[in-house]
């Protein structure tokens, strides 16, 4: 198979080749970069394996470039890394596109042995064949020679190219050994299957099911990193379905598994909220690459299992699941080692508000209700509406179209009210400080009562959203409460 390399890639390859020749050290490009070139996927992360000292080769390679790039050495792992920027290439190459650096990592060929209770291997020097067998999947074992005598030759004894052509994921060694040695590879298998639309071979998937319990020795951070990569794919449901069927999801994210299944009483059942959630996630994927909005799609119904009740004459209800779900968000983020910051607050907010726009699709909804949603959602109103549209999963096309038309109407009204009232990220014109200063009050419940009354008056449309009207309303409310204005000197 001929791979068409770019001028920049060949320039880098020749520099590495020259350094390797000077050191008499065989070197190869291997792994994901080669795989992605075969698949025509963009990639600027190069893994270089050499039969020798990878750190020494990195330092020698760096000297081939002008300006000389910094060499980042990781002695613990026996690796080194350099970044090759646009200014390292001659002007004659006429490089197009972004000024993204090539990230080139060097490592000496090695063989590994694992302790059962750890995914950190004992490492010793090895041959290229040893190094190839320690890798996760055959599609990541394809190498390209950078040696003078066979420069550019593909080296593929494990038939990784054939597996790419067959669109399958399998391991170089017996999958039981591969997954037991490093259980994170089970997550990676599912991630690659999702990203590349490949199939995991039956024997490989059976080994994942058999070894799923081993995932407990992997840190939550590493697991969640793979989970996030699955979430950001074009069709994340593929990955979550595989995680569920393999038994991994039950271990790493049991709250989501609790959504699975439908219960029936007196012939009345509810939908399977696990697969509904996956459909919502797939629905939202074409409209946003925002990881956190996709997380909101995953968690929007997360509290349905704990709020589920059967009401005689009515059927299944999930009252308050949006509120309970919002309270579950921080706990899930902590469990999965996701960030406890504004991203988490955003997800919680969207989960708590996801039913509000649906209520606005009913007839005769007041401007007050519209104002309150704009006020509560702020700059996240578009994200909220994106989720609400994705939440329509009916197989009835007419019903879907009707819901979408209703949401279009809601968006139109949101825009109209926003333009007239300017409420997005609005702060009431009367602050607590103004109230305390005008009436000589200390911080107290009374101050809060007046401030809230002004805010509610604006949201209800009783007064316009402007200072003078709000100030007059404040004075009237204080008078009703028997509060006298402070006499000013």
Q: Give the pLDDT confidence of 122-177 residue by residue, as tens digits.
A: 777 888 899 999 899 999 999 999 999 999 999 999 999 999 999 999 999 999 99
How sure is the predictor about 299, in pLDDT bands with cuts at 50, 70 and 90?
Answer: very high
Alpha-carbon distance of 62 to 33, in angstroms, equals: 20
| Domains by residue range for the chain, with CATH | 7-166 (3.30.460.10), 167-252 (1.10.110.30), 432-480 (no CATH)
Neighbours of 256 (CB within 10 A): 23
How sure is the predictor about 94, in pLDDT bands with cuts at 50, 70 and 90?
Answer: low
Q: What is the pLDDT of residue 200?
A: 98
Highest mean pLDDT pick, 3-7, 205-209, 380-384, 476-480: 205-209
More reliable by pLDDT, 112 or 163:
163
Q: Looking at the predicted structure, is the pLDDT value of residue 329 above 90?
A: yes
Q: What is the pLDDT of residue 351?
A: 98
**What secondary structure does DSSP assign to 426-471, as a single string?**
---SS-HHHHHHHHTPPSSHHHHHHHHHHHHHHHTTSS-SSHHHHH
Which burial class, exposed, middle or buried, applies to 28 when counting CB atoms under 10 A from its CB (0-12, 13-18, 19+)? buried
Q: Looking at the predicted structure, is the pLDDT value of residue 347 above 60?
A: yes
Q: State pLDDT tens for residues 370-401.
A: 888 888 898 899 999 999 999 998 777 888 88
Q: For strand 168-169 and strand 199-200, is the pairing parallel, antiparallel, or unpaired?
A: parallel
Retrieve residue 235's tokens.
Answer: 């069709």
Q: Looking at the predicted structure, is the pLDDT value of residue 96 above 90?
A: no
Q: What is the pLDDT of residue 56?
A: 96
Decide: helix, strand or coil at residue 199: strand
Retrieve residue 188's tokens.
Answer: 């990676």
Report the candidate in 138, 209, 126, 130 with the shortest Cα–Cα distance to residue 171.
Answer: 138
Alpha-carbon distance of 193 to 238, in angstroms, equals: 8
Q: Looking at the predicted structure, is the pLDDT value of residue 318 above 70?
A: yes
Q: State the average pLDDT over residues 6-26.
A: 95
Task: Give me the residues paired with residue 28 across strands.
Answer: 49, 145
How sure is the predictor about 489, in pLDDT bands with cuts at 50, 70 and 90?
Answer: low
Q: What is the pLDDT of residue 202?
A: 98
How sure is the predictor about 331, in pLDDT bands with cuts at 50, 70 and 90?
Answer: very high
231, 281 contact by CB (below 8 A): yes
More reliable by pLDDT, 486 or 26:
26
Q: Looking at the predicted structure, is the pLDDT value of residue 437 above 80?
A: yes
DSSP element (H, E) containing 369: helix 367-377
Q: What is the pLDDT of residue 84?
A: 94
Q: What is the pLDDT of residue 364?
A: 67
Neighbours of 10 (CB within 10 A): 14
Q: What is the pLDDT of residue 178?
A: 92
Report the candidate in 346, 376, 389, 369 with the shortest Cα–Cα distance to residue 460.
Answer: 369
279, 259 contact by CB (below 8 A): no
Q: State pLDDT tens for residues 181-240.
A: 899 999 999 999 999 999 999 999 999 999 999 999 999 999 999 999 999 999 999 999
How sure is the predictor about 367, in pLDDT bands with cuts at 50, 70 and 90?
Answer: confident
Alpha-carbon distance of 174 to 157, in angstroms, equals: 16
Q: State pLDDT tens for residues 40-68.
A: 999 999 999 999 999 999 999 999 999 99
Q: Report the percentage of the chain scoring pLDDT > 90.
A: 65
What is the pLDDT of the chain when averaged over all its residues?
Answer: 90
> Residue 6 phi/psi, 5° resolution?
-75, 165
- Measure the CA dihedral 363/366/372/374, to 10°: 70
Q: State pLDDT tens for residues 230-289.
A: 999 999 999 999 999 999 999 999 999 999 988 888 767 788 999 999 999 999 999 999
Q: Looking at the predicted structure, is the pLDDT value of residue 92 above 90?
A: no
């Amino acid at each position: 198979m001929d791979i068409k390399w770019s001028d920049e890639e060949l320039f880098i390859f020749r520099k590495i080749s020259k350094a390797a020749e000077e050191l008499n050290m065989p070197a190869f490009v291997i792994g994901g970069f080669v795989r992605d070139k075969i698949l025509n996927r963009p990639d600027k992360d190069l893994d270089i394996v050499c039969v020798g000292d990878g750190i020494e080769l990195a330092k020698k390679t760096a000297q081939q470039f002008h300006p000389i790039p910094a060499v980042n050495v990781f002695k613990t792992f026996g690796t080194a890394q350099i970044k090759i920027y646009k200014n390292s290439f001659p002007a004659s190459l006429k490089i197009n596109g972004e000024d993204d650096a090539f990230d080139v990592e060097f490592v000496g060929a090695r063989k590994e042995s694992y302790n059962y209770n750890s995914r950190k291997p004992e490492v010793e020097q090895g041959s290229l064949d040893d190094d190839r067998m320690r890798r996760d999947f055959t599609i990541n074992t394809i190498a390209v020679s950078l040696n003078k005598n066979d420069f550019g030759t593909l080296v593929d004894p494990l038939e990784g190219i054939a597996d790419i052509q067959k669109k399958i994921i399998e391991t170089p060694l017996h999958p039981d050994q591969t997954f037991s040695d490093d259980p994170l590879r089970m997550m990676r298998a599912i991630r690659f299957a999702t990203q590349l639309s490949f199939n995991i071979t039956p024997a490989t998937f059976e080994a994942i099911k058999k070894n799923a319990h081993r995932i407990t020795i992997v840190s939550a951070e590493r697991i969640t990193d793979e989970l996030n990569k699955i979430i950001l794919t074009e069709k994340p449901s593929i990955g979550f379905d595989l995680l569920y069927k393999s038994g991994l999801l039950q271990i790493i994210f049991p709250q989501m598994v609790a959504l699975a299944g439908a219960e029936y009483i007196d012939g009345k059942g509810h939908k399977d909220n696990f697969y509904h959630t996956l459909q919502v996630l797939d629905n939202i994927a074409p409209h946003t690459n925002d990881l956190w909005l996709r997380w909101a799609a995953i968690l929007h119904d997360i509290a349905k299992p704990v709020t589920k009740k059967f009401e005689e004459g009515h059927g299944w209800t999930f009252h308050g699941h949006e509120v309970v779900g919002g309270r579950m968000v921080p706990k899930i983020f902590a469990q999965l080692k996701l960030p406890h910051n504004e991203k988490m607050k955003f997800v919680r907010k969207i989960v708590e508000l996801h039913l509000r726009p649906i209520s606005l699709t009913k007839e005769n909804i007041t401007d007050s209700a519209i104002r309150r949603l704009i006020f509560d959602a702020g700059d996240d109103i578009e994200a909220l509406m994106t989720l609400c549209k994705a939440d329509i999963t009916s197989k009835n096309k007419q019903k879907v179209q009707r819901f979408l038309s209703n949401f279009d109407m809601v968006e139109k009204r949101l825009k109209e009210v926003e333009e007239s009232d300017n409420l997005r990220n609005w702060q009431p014109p009367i602050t607590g400080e103004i109230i305390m200063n005008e009436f000589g009050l200390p911080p107290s419940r009374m101050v809060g009562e007046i401030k809230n009354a002004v805010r509610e008056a604006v949201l209800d449309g009783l007064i316009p959203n402007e200072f003078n009207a709000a100030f007059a309303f404040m004075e009237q409310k204080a008078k009703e409460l028997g509060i006298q204005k402070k006499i000013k000197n």
